[in-house]
Each structure stands twice: as structure tokens, then as C-alpha cells.
Amino acid sequence: MRIRKARQILKCFADDTRIRIVNLLDQEPLNVTELCAILRAPQSNVSKHLARLRLTGVVSDTRKGFNVYYKLTRPENKNHRDLVNYIVRGLSKVEITREDIDKLVKVKKGRKKVTLSQKRR
């Protein structure tokens, strides 16, 4: 494992908001609006953190229509992948990340309601 890449990965986890984002994206892909609703953070702040995670290779994005969905990626290098997996696994025990998962459930329900109302049109 290259120490520089390991350091970059560890540094990207050195922020509470980024830790919370990674925990949420470990559950499923989300867009910025959904992340902002769960984290109760401004869009510019969330986007800045997503950019940092994307540059490190921890997160990738996919465009679907007008939305960009972000997902947790697993590095190709096994040692880097193991490092990210260990960190993410440990995050599931942190209280705020459990609260975020509860909020994610509510956001998912809201997403289904919007999708159904759009289909009725």
C-alpha cells in the first residue's frame, strides 16, 4: 500500500460531515438534495465535501436526468479497499450516523411519494 494514498483516504475521513456522508452513501446512492435534507447542511457545504471525497476516489457520481447521484466506491487496490471498509464498518456504531440512517428512511419514503405523484401526471 502506498502511504500517500492511505494518507489521502484517512484525511478525507477527518471531517464529521464527510464521515456522515460516507456512512449514508454506504447504504445507497443519494443526490445532494437528499444529503442536505438528512444532514441539515447547506448545499454548497455538502457539495464541497462530496468533491473532496470524489477526488480521493472514495465516492463516485452518476447523472440521472437532472440529478447527480453519489455512491461509495471501493478502491481497486485491495489494501485501500480494506482501509475504507474498516472505517465504514466502524462508523455504523457512532450515534449520529445511526440517527442519519433513521433520517434516510424518511427521505426514501418522501422519494417514493414524489415518484408516484409524477407518474400520475
The answer to whether 30 and 59 are in contact (CB under 8 A) is no
Per-residue pLDDT of the chain (121 residues; tens, 9 = 90+): 578 888 888 898 899 999 999 999 999 999 999 999 999 999 999 999 999 999 988 999 999 988 999 999 977 888 888 888 888 888 777 888 889 999 999 888 877 665 545 555 5
Q: What is the pLDDT of residues 105-118, one digit of tens each?
A: 988 887 766 554 55
Domain boundaries, the chain: 3-120
Burial 54-91 (b: 16+ CB within 10 A, else e): eebbbbebeeeeeeebbebbebeeeebeebbeebbeeb
Q: What is the pLDDT, as a whole number, of residue 112? A: 64
Whole-prediction pTM value? 0.83
CATH (residue range 3-120): 1.10.10.10
Q: What is the pLDDT of residues 9-26, one digit of tens each?
A: 889 889 999 999 999 999
